[in-house]
Structure 1
Amino acid sequence: MPTVRTLRDVTDLVGRGVAPYLRYSPGPDSDAAHPSTDHESGLLMPGVSINPLEAPGWWTLPLEDWVARRICQYLRELDEGAWPWLLSGRVVDVGPDNEPLLVDVEPVAWMDLALLDEARDHYRSRLEAGVATHQDKAQ
C-alpha cells in the first residue's frame, strides 16, 4: 500500500472521493483477521469502525481544515499500536459511538508520521483546537 506524505495529498484524495475514510488500526490485514468488537459488550460489529473525512454540508472552511481536524481526533490511538490509513468501502451500520461501520474495505494508503505532525500543526494554527463545546453557565 502506498504512503501519503502531506495533508494536501490526503485532502486531494478525499476531495476526489478516492479515500473518504480514515481508520486507526494495525492495518487492513489485521482488520480482515480480527473483526471489530464493541469493547464494552463484547459483541462483534458488522464492519470496521471508521472516521469520515468528507466535510459535512455546514462546513464552509477549506476541506484541508476539516481533514486536519479529523486526523487529529484519534492520534492517541498511536500509543495503542494503531496506525492511520485511508480507505473506501460501504457503510452498513453505526458503532457504539455513532461511528460508521464499513464493509467491502478497499485500502488506499498509509499516512506518514510527518503528515500527522503537519495535520496537528495545521489544526492548531487554523482552528481553536481543544475549545469546549459548551460553557458551564452554573459556575
Structure 2
Amino acid sequence: MSGSSHWSRMAVIGSLDELTGLLSSRRGLYVRWSRGPQFDLLPEASSRDELTGVELPGLSANPMDVEDWWGPRPLRTWAARRLYDYSHLPRVKDTWVRPWLLLGTEAGRGPDNEPVVRDVEPLGWVNQKVIDEAEREIEQQQGVWGPLNRR
C-alpha cells in the first residue's frame, strides 16, 4: 500500500468512551500530535529537539497508559487530561497537526522528558470530537487547569 492512501484510511477514534475502552484493554499506547504517520514514519523522519536540532532516537509522543497512583478514579478523566494537555499544538505549531494513537516501544526520553518511541504501530486518528469531549470533561473537574503552552 502506498503511504498516503494507507494512512488516509487509518481508523478514527470517534469518542472519548471509545478511547477509554482502548486504554482499559491495552498497554503501551501513546498519542502523537503531528501531521500523521504518512510524514512521521518515512525512513528518514524522526523527532528533533526544537532548541538544538538534535535528532531523537524515535518519535516524541505522550503516554496514555494509566499510572497506578491514579487508583480507582475514572479512566475517562485520565484520557481527557492526557489529550487536553497538548490540545494547543494545532494552534501554536501547525494547523495540520492532529492527534493519533499508536502502539510503540519507549526508546528513551526527549528534552521535555517526554517518551521517545520506536517500533510504532499507528492505531487511529483521534477525531476532533474526542478533543471537544476531553475539554468538557476537564471543565467539569474541581481544579483549574489549562493545556500546556509555553507561549
Q: TM-score, normalised by structure 1?
A: 0.88
Q: Tell me which of 32, 37, 55 is aligned to 2:66.
A: 55
Q: Cα deviations across residues 98-124 of structure 1 (Å, max 9, x unaligned)?
A: 101000100001011111101110111
Question: Which residue matches 2:39?
Answer: 30
Counterpart of 2:69 in 1: which secondary structure? coil
Instruction: Measure, in 2, the Cα distance between the counterparts of 1:69 and 1:120.
Output: 8
1:18 deviates by: 6.3
Give the direction of change, closer, same or farther, for the CA distance of 1:19–1:56 in structure 2 (3 Å limit). Answer: closer
Counterpart of 2:70 in 1: which secondary structure? coil
Asked if 1:44 is matched to 2:55, the reply is yes
Q: Quick check: 1:37–1:44 contact (8 Å CA) kept in 2?
A: yes
Instruction: Measure, in 2, the Cα distance between the counterparts of 1:55 and 1:82.
Output: 24
Question: Which sits farther off after the overlay, 17-26 or 106-115?
Answer: 17-26
Instruction: Measure, in 1, the Cα distance between the counterparts of 2:33 and 2:39.
Output: 12
Unaligned runs of 5+ in 2: 1-9, 147-151
Q: Tell me which of 110, 123, 127 is aligned to 1:95.
A: 110
Asked if 1:70 is matched to 2:79, the reply is no
Question: Which residue matches 2:127?
Answer: 112
CA RMSD in angstroms comes to: 1.5
Q: Tell me which of 5, 13, 29 is aligned to 2:22.
A: 13
Runs of 4+ in structure 1 off by over 2 angstroms are none
Q: TM-score, normalised by structure 2?
A: 0.82
Counterpart of 2:38 in 1: which secondary structure? helix
Q: Quick check: 2:107–2:115 contact (8 Å CA) kept in 1?
A: yes
Counterpart of 2:20 in 1: which secondary structure? helix
Amino acid at match of 1:57: D
Question: Which residue matches 2:140?
Answer: 125
Amino acid at match of 1:72: Y
1:126 deviates by: 2.9
Unaligned runs of 5+ in 1: 132-139
Instruction: Measure, in 1, the Cα distance between the counterparts of 2:124 and 2:58.
Output: 19
